[in-house]
Amino acid sequence: MGPLAGLKILEFEAIGPGPFCGMMLADMGADVLLVDRPENPGLGVGRDRWFDVMMRGRRSATLDLKSKGGVEAALELAGKADAIIEGFRPGVMERLGLGPETLLKKNPKLVYGRMTGWGQEGPLAARAGHDINYIALTGILNAIGRKGEAPLPPLNLIGDFGGGGMLLGFGVACGLLEAARSGKGQVIDAAMVEGASLLAVMFAGFLGGGSWSEQRGSNVLDTGAPWYNVYETKDGKYVSIGAIEERFYKDLLTRLQLAEKEFPQHDRAKWPLHKAAFATAFKAKARDEWVKVFEGSDACFAPVLSWSEAPRHPHNRARSAYVSVKRVEQPAPAPRFSRTPGEVQRPPPERGEGGTQALSDWGFDAQQVKRLTSLGLGFGEKK
């Protein structure tokens, strides 16, 4: 159904950004075959596979890539794929005999997607790291936090998923589009440190233009401004305000019953006083009372919801923004396409689940499947 329907993606088991990329491609209709390790190596923090929602949409086959037969089987699978996704450290796939040179020789039209933290080369390329380290090296982590406080890690959303998995998904889609025109594949080097930097490109312009201070909590978008912030309410919950434009700011003051002449928006010297006044005002009512006060408002207001509350918000419900897959509520595929909508094709597979049917769909006949099985390709079909 989705815009990538008919494309075959071979994904080698990894964590974080790799699976997120595979999920995005599967959500958009690609046939993603996950090459799992024969046994759970502990990559999924001990949870059952069906709770690992980033694995949705795939089918699975198991394979030991450290065995001679496993490498041979992987080569055969890559020969029928349009793209592969791998998230090993630089050089690992080459040492296994599955590097780009080998696979592109086998399949010249293959798009070879590589996901790493630091990139395929450079002084840090071989070093271990996680999201917090990648965004630390970009300036992003230093910029997030309140004035006078330490930098605040924004979960692992910026490096792993925005700057990693989403970047690789975009790269794979671009590579597939180009390969359809040229008939030639290529390697995509997606580095989380570079993807994270790219997400912050707007701030490079602010900094270059002298409109951004590197002191945390002193700018418009980093809680420095009283009208772009979060405030606690009477019931201990929070609301968010982003009234940047003048007309929106005026609406905010009206809803808070504060006199406009006493709160000039861009008088930075008074921002601390304004912030204290806003905090006092918001503490006077509960969060959901403020929702009613701001109903129909353009003051750029929204309640701060928990993850469990978000699916039940009227807007999210109206747009069916969440779906339930095997009793696990999760975000629906995005973005939306008018003619070829994406969908969750199937729940996360157990190791080997759906693999035999996937091989048939990929064009392997019964004898070829038997040979691949003899090389170590495993299936754990549920009865």
Residue 87 maps to which CATH number? 3.40.50.10540
- Of the residues 258, 279, 312, which one is the last residue of a structural domain? 312
| Domain membership flag for residue 379 | no
Q: Say what the pLDDT of residue 39 is.
A: 79
Q: Say what the pLDDT of residue 233 is.
A: 98
CA-based radius of gyration for the chain:
25
Contact 60, 349 (CB under 8 A): yes
- Of the residues 277, 312, 347, which one is the last residue of a structural domain? 312
Asked whether residue 135 falls in the same domain as residue 244, the answer is no
d(CA 262, CA 273): 11
Q: Say what the pLDDT of residue 382 is.
A: 45
Asked whether residue 187 falls in the same domain as residue 291, the answer is no
Asked whether residue 100 falls in the same domain as residue 24, the answer is yes
Asked whether residue 267 falls in the same domain as residue 182, the answer is no
78-116 b/e (C-beta count within 10 Å ≥ 16 → b): bebbbbbbbbbebeebeebebbbeebbeebebbbbbbbb
Specify the number of domains making up the chain: 2
- The CATH code of the domain that includes 235 is 3.30.1540.10
Count Cβ atoms within 10 A of the Cβ of residue 139 and give its class: 0-12 exposed, 13-18 middle, 19 or more buried. middle
DSSP designation for 378: B
Asked whether residue 19 falls in the same domain as residue 159, the answer is yes
Helices (H) and strands (E) in the chain, counts: 15, 11
For 193-260, list the strands marked E by DSSP.
228-232, 238-242
State the residue range of the domain holding 250.
228-312
Nearest 5°: the CA angle 355, 184, 55 is 30
| Domain membership flag for residue 306 | yes
Asked whether residue 167 falls in the same domain as residue 236, the answer is no
Asked whether residue 164 falls in the same domain as residue 27, the answer is yes
Asked whether residue 327 falls in the same domain as residue 289, the answer is no
Structure tokens given for 337: 């396409």
Q: Which amino acid, one-letter code, is at 371?
A: R
List, by residue number, the catalytic residues: 130, 160
Three-state secondary-structure class, residue 331: strand
Helix (H) or strand (E) holding 350: none
Neighbours of 27 (CB within 10 A): 23
Instruction: Tell me how far CA of residue 114 lies from CA of 121, 137, 186, 225, in angstroms.
Output: 12, 20, 11, 40
Query: Residues with Cβ < 8 Å from 162, sequence gap 6 or more?
Result: 195, 196, 199
Asked whether residue 73 falls in the same domain as residue 191, the answer is yes
Give the percent of the chain with pLDDT over 90: 95
| Domain membership flag for residue 21 | yes
Query: Residues with Cβ < 8 Å from 269, sequence gap 6 or more?
Result: none
Q: Say what the pLDDT of residue 42 is.
A: 55
Asked whether residue 36 falls in the same domain as residue 80, the answer is yes
Asked whether residue 168 falls in the same domain as residue 237, the answer is no
Bond preceding residue 38 cis, omega within 30 of 0:
no
Neighbours of 316 (CB within 10 A): 16
Helix (H) or strand (E) holding 269: none
Low-confidence ranges of the chain (pLDDT < 70): 40-48, 381-383
Start-to-end CA distance of the chain, whole Å, equals 28
Per-residue pLDDT of 33-91, as tens digits, reads 999 998 766 554 445 677 899 999 999 999 999 999 999 999 999 999 999 999 999 99
Q: Say what the pLDDT of residue 16 is.
A: 93
Sign of CA pseudo-dihedral 133, 162, 206, 153? negative
Asked whether residue 31 falls in the same domain as residue 149, the answer is yes
